[in-house]
């Protein structure tokens, strides 16, 4: 089975440009998470969805960041306009909260998108 798929793997852009990161969760999973990893702040949760509905976006740094999940198999994280301090690795993760033993509450991560804003 395919894992969480993120694209692109690397993104280099100039300050002020719009950046869109994409994520395809594991099929059948009902939770989707966006994390950001930096040297200074470590791994921090930005936002998460349950059944395509945003549940908690308190980690989104500011209005320049937005996330959507139009359907169960796709999510985007958009930064507009981008700034150099947004440079980080962005991870998407998904999980299944269901009745299957062992399946519940384990987040599986994508390979990440390394974003560099010049």
Partner 1 sequence: AQKVTQAQTEISVVEKEDVTLDCVYETRDTTYYLFWYKQPPSGELVFLIRRNSFDEQNEISGRYSWNFQKSTSSFNFTITASQVVDSAVYFCALSEARGNEKLTFGTGTRLTIIP
State the residues that interact with partner 1 by CB under 8 A: 31, 33, 42-45, 48, 55-56, 89, 91, 93, 95, 97, 105-112, 114
Q: How far apart are CA 46 and CA 74, in angstroms?
A: 17
Least distance in angstroms from the C-beta of 31 to partner 1: 6
- Location of structure tokens 């969805």: 49
The strand pairing partners of 45, in sequence order, are 35
- Location of structure tokens 């299944």: 96
Nearer to partner 1, 34 or 65 (CB): 34
Nearer to partner 1, 15 or 43 (CB): 43
Least distance in angstroms from the C-beta of 42 to partner 1: 5
**At 15, phi and psi to the nearest 5?**
-50, 135
């Amino acid at each position: 089975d395919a894992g969480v798929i993120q694209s692109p793997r690397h993104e280099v852009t100039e300050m002020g440009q719009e950046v869109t990161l994409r994520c395809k969760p594991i099929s059948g999973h009902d939770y989707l998470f966006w994390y950001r990893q930096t040297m200074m702040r470590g791994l921090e949760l930005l936002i998460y969805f349950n059944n395509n509905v945003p549940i908690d976006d308190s980690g989104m740094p500011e209005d320049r960041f937005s996330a959507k999940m139009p359907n169960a198999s796709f999510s985007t994280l958009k930064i507009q306009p981008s700034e150099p301090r947004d440079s980080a690795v962005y991870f998407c993760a998904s999980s299944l909260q269901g009745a299957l033993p062992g399946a519940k509450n384990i987040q599986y991560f994508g390979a990440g998108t390394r974003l560099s804003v010049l």
